[in-house]
Structure formats: structure tokens, C-alpha cells
Amino acid sequence: MVASFPPTRHFLNYRKKTEKGFNNWLMNTYATVVLAAGKGTRMRSKLSKLLHPLAGIPLLGHVLKTIETIPSTPSFLAHNHDIYAHRPIVVLGHASEQVTEAFASRCLYATQYEQLGTGHAVLAAQAVVDALDPLPETVLVCYGDTPLVRAEILAQVLLEHFRQQAAVTFLTAQATLPSDFGRVARDRQGNVRAIVEVKKATPEELSLTEVNSGVYCFDRSWLWPVLQDLPRNTTGEYYLTDLVAIAASQGLKVATVQGMMDETIGINDRVQLAAAEKLLRQRILERHMYAGVTIVDPATTYIEDSVQIGMDTVILPGTMLTGETTIGAECRIGPATTIHQAHIGDRCVVRNSAIEDSVLEDEVSMGPFSHCRAGAHLARGVRMGNFAEAKNSYIGAESDMHHFSYLGDTTTGEHVNIAAGSITSNFDGKRKHRTTIGTGAFIGCDTTLIAPVTIGDHAYTGAGAVVTKDVPPYTLVVGVPAHPIRSLRPEEPPSTGNGAKE
Ligand code: UD1
Ligand code: CA
């Protein structure tokens, strides 16, 4: 049985101040404390558990993003009173440098020097919370290892807490397999009596299916003195969950909000990490589908949380979209395509290809089996066919590069044709050199451009040319090494027959 404490003076004053009711409150201020000091030993990793990526974002990043989203949730926006949200405070212990480096000033930090339980961890944040201006009335506590909890449900917990003027409000869920979650014990009237941790539960309590999800709101002025006097459990830990029984025994209001079980998943090992990844992936895919994106086969489509996709785009099976990637409207992406950290415009088609750190403007088509490496920029209407590669290159609008070709460190004008098998020889073994290809130039089949070299506007190279010197505009060069054989007037197309354009 948990010791009972008389209600603190602060809290009674607080209740008096607010007893006119929720609607008379001028402002609610809250601070969020994220508990993340656990050692995470079950991950068996050199990397802090909180930095393990889930759908491309570190675990803690998900929790922070969720907290940052609370003020813009529908529930909060519908609520017409001022609510002041402070930057989240993260309680750290083990490997904290890795975490503070990764998140820097995105949050405030507190240190729990010894891991003596979740109650002890919240107390470690007291000084940081009390130094906030304006001073928060409410402390929202979340766990750093439950990344699937949604901002909307956190908003509902906060609003319920404000409305009920409770000492404690917490999130629960109905579990079919309650496993190691704390159980919610209620009296006959349905009032919460306690959260019972599995280690201390009777067989009867273990059979309860309502569980504690690990999200709480506390009245700040009540919280600190109660935490300071919190008795230690036989396990040696101070359980935050014991505060619920203390509030109940003081006759104070304990409120609950029921959420979904799948948001409650906690990550302790890599098996749970994979389970969470699957759920999160599904959630991300559903977000895109509801926003007007067709995902033909969700089971084989992997999209990270950071990706944006426009309306009426179709994502075909086996596609992986990662990093800060944006894809425009009415595109067809896939099958079997990977795009990382790239910007794809509207109405593009990308089949069986790989793109990273690149830009495709509107109406570009690419693939099958082509590759845009770092710094590739395909301007509007470029057609890149099969087995083509571009790296650190700008390919001008409406250019064609259909078969077996490579452009590295190259800039081309518009309406350029790179015929089958043409490549830039941009690396001399020591240094990279640039190639410039003018507007309307026609690079004939199997041309090798030995960089640095410039091909003038509307120049032509004959099949198999090895170009070692700059080619003036409107000039046809052939041979090894390539030499000019004639000048071309704009209206006179060449008749070398070496293009392999479709
Ligand atoms: C906790 C709850 C349980 C709830 C479950 C939901 C307690 C006592 N129990 O159990 O009722 O159903 O979460 O996921 O709170 N941490 C610290 N310092 C510590 C100990 C833990 O910062 O000294 C942090 C951990 O990094 C973790 C979080 O607190 O992010 C929760 O701790 P954990 O040990 O995982 O609690 P559970 O056993 O999962
Ligand atoms: Ca846990």
C-alpha cells in the first residue's frame, strides 16, 4: 500500500483560483518532460537507444516532433483559450553527449545521474522546469522510448487535465496482451485507484487489461513535494506510477484518457524496433494515401516520415523514398525505385532507377535502370533512358540521354542529345574536370569527351569520336582524336547517321 500524503497548500490554492471553471482560465502553461535516461541495454548497441533510427528519424526525434506538433493539433486549435507550450526538457543519463549533439537547442536538458526509476527521473527535471518563464502550471511527462504516441492524443490528455482540473491525468489503453505494462486498477465506481506495476501486481491485478501508456499530466505545485517524499519500492526504484495512488488517496482528482494500444508500443530491443517500424510505415503510407497518393502495394513500399508527395502521384511496388525528399503531383514512381534526399517535380516518370541528392524538374522521365548521383540536375522535360548515369551535372531542358551513357561534372544547354554509349572522361586519375556542352549539341554514339572540354552550341560529334579539344559551335568533329571536318549552318542537319535516338 502506498503512503498517503495530505494535499499540499499550493494545490489547494490552485484549485481555489480555478474553481470558477475551465472557461474562466486565462492561460494554461505547460512544460513537457521526456524521460530518456534509461541505459537501453537490451538494444545491445554502442549507439544510444534514443538515436536508433525509426523510419529514418531517431527515436527521440519522433517524440520531440510529436511534442512540437501538439499546439497545431485539431484539438488545440479548436480550443479558444491561450495555451503556452515550453520547449521540451529531456532527462538524460547514459551517452548523453551523443544525444545533446544530435538535438542541440531543439530541447532543454536535465541530467539524472543515477537511474533510480521514472519518479526519480522526473524529479531530476525540477530545477529546469522551475526556471521556465512563464512558470508552467502543468507538467506533461512522456517516455523517450514510446515513439508512436500521436500529438493529437497528447493534446487530448492536456485538455482533459485542464478541463477536469485534475492533480494527475494519464493516458491508458485496452490491451489484449497487457504483458509488462502497468495495470490500471479502478474502484467499483470506476475511479482510478492506482497504477500497479507488474512486479508488484497480484494475480487478480495482472488479469486487468487496461494499461498505463506512459503519458501523464501533473499539477506542478503538487508534483514536486510528492516526488520528494515518494517511497522507494522493494525493487530499489522510485515509480512515477505510484503518484496515481497517492493522488487518489488524498481525494484529489485523477483523470484518464483512453488511447489506442498501438501508440503505446515501447522500444526496449531491436525486435520491438522492427515492430514499431512496421506500424509507423503503415501510418506514413496511410497519411499519403488519405492525402491523394496512390500506393499500389503498401507491403513493399517504404517511405520515411520526412518525405512529401503531391496529389495523384502513383507509387509502384518495391519503391523506397527516404530523407528530405519531395515528389510533385501526378508522377509515376517505381517499380523498384529508390529516391533519397531528392526533389522531383510534377508529372515525372521514374522507373526502376536510383536517385540521390539530385533534382528532377517537371516532366522528366527516367529509366528503367538509370542512376542520378549526388548533384545531378535534370531540367524540365529531360528524357533519360536506360543504363544512363549523371553525377554533379546539369542537363538542360528537353535534352535526351537515352542509352548507356555517363555525364559527370558536366553542364549542358537545352535540347542536347547524348547518343548511345557516350561518356565524359572526367577523371584523369588525380583530379576531376568539367565538361560543357552547348545548346542543341549532338553527341554521336560512343563519343568520349576528355575533360576539361567544351562543345559549342549546335556542334556535332561523329560516332566513336574521342574529343580532346574544344569544339567550336556549328562544327562537326570526327575521329580519334576528333578533328573538325566541316562547319554546319543552322538549317543544314548533318548526314552522318550516327545518332541512336529513339
Ligand atoms: C513504464 C511504466 C509502466 C508503463 C510503461 C509504458 C513506470 C514505473 N512504469 O514501464 O506503468 O506501462 O512504462 O511504456 O514508470 N527512465 C529514466 N530513468 C530511470 C528509469 C527510466 O529516464 O531511472 C526512462 C527510460 O529511458 C524510458 C522511460 O523512462 O524512456 C520508461 O522507463 P522503462 O524502464 O522503460 O519503464 P517500463 O518498464 O517500460
Ligand atoms: Ca519501456
**Ligand 1: centre distance to CA 264 (Å):** 12
- Of ligand 1's listed atoms, the one at least distance from the Cα of 39 is 26
pLDDT mean over 444-451: 97
Q: What is the pLDDT of residue 491?
A: 66
Over pLDDT 70: what percentage of the chain? Answer: 91
- The answer to whether residues 480 and 494 touch, using CB atoms and an 8 Å cutoff, is no
Pairwise CA distance, residues 415 & 396, whole Å: 7
- pLDDT single digits (tens) 107-128: 999 999 999 999 999 999 999 9
> Nearest residue CA, atom 1 of ligand 1?
214
Between residues 20 and 396, which one has the greater pLDDT? 396
**Ligand 2: centre distance to CA 205 (Å):** 20
Please report which ligand is nearest the Cα atom of 265.
Answer: 1
List C-alpha distances in Å: 322 to 110, 304, 308, 358, 472.
Answer: 32, 5, 10, 13, 43
Strand partners, 425: 450
Pairwise CA distance, residues 455 & 488, whole Å: 14
Residue reference for cell 467499483: 188
- pLDDT single digits (tens) 67-109: 999 999 999 888 766 788 999 999 999 668 888 888 989 999 9
Pairwise CA distance, residues 381 & 298, whole Å: 29
Does the C-beta of 116 come closer than 6 Å to ligand 1? Answer: yes
pLDDT mean over 221-233: 97
Residue 22 in this model has a pLDDT that exceeds 50:
no
Pairwise CA distance, residues 244 & 248, whole Å: 6
> Nearest residue CA, atom 12 of ligand 1?
181
Q: Which residues contact 291 (CB under 8 A, 6 or more apart)?
A: 309, 311
Pairwise CA distance, residues 40 & 44, whole Å: 8
Q: What is the pLDDT of residue 266?
A: 87
Does the C-beta of 117 come closer than 6 Å to ligand 1? Answer: yes
Mutate to test the pocket of ligand 1, among 42, 114, 143, 153 (most ligand atoms within 8 A of CB): 143
**Ligand 1: centre distance to CA 143 (Å):** 7
Pairwise CA distance, residues 305 & 200, whole Å: 39
Pairwise CA distance, residues 7 & 9, whole Å: 7
Q: What is the pLDDT of residue 70?
A: 94
Does the C-beta of 185 come closer than 6 Å to ligand 1? Answer: no
Active-site residues, by number, are 403
25 confidence band (pLDDT: 50, 70, 90): very low
Query: In this structure, what C-alpha cell is assigned to residue 228?
Result: 520528494
Q: How far is CA 126 from the centre of its chain?
A: 30
pTM: 0.76
How does DSSP assign 93-118, residue by residue? -TTHHHHHHHHGGGSEEEE-SS---H
List C-alpha distances in Å: 421 to 404, 432, 483.
Answer: 5, 20, 20
Please report which ligand is nearest the Cα atom of 35.
Answer: 1
- Of ligand 1's listed atoms, the one at least distance from the Cα of 242 is 8
